[in-house]
Amino acid sequence: MKALVVFYSLEGHTKFIASVIAKELKCDLLELQPEKEIPKTGFKKFFWGGKSAIFKEKPSLKNKIPDLEQYDTIFLGTPIWAGTYAPPINTFISDNEIKQKNIAFFACHSGGGAKKCFGRLQDFLKDNNIVGSIDFIDPKSDDEEKKSEIKNWLNDIIMTKLN
Ligand SMILES: Cc1cc2nc3c(=O)[nH]c(=O)nc-3n(C[C@H](O)[C@H](O)[C@H](O)COP(=O)(O)O)c2cc1C
Residue 139's CATH number: 3.40.50.360
Ligand 1 within 6 A of CB of 111:
yes
Residue 138 CA from chain centroid, whole number: 14
Pairing of strands 73-81, 3-7: parallel
Domain count, the chain: 1
Ligand 1 within 6 A of CB of 112:
yes
In ligand 1, which atom is closest to the CA atom of 47? 1
pLDDT string in tens for the chain (163-residue length)? 899 999 999 999 999 999 999 999 999 999 999 999 998 888 999 999 999 999 999 999 999 999 999 999 999 999 999 999 999 999 999 999 999 999 999 999 999 999 999 999 999 999 999 999 999 999 988 889 999 999 999 999 999 988 6
What pLDDT was estimated at residue 163? Answer: 66
Which domain covers residue 14, as residue numbers?
Answer: 3-160
Residue with CA at minimum distance from ligand 1 atom 20: 109
Mutate to test the pocket of ligand 1, among 8, 11, 78, 81 (most ligand atoms within 8 A of CB): 81
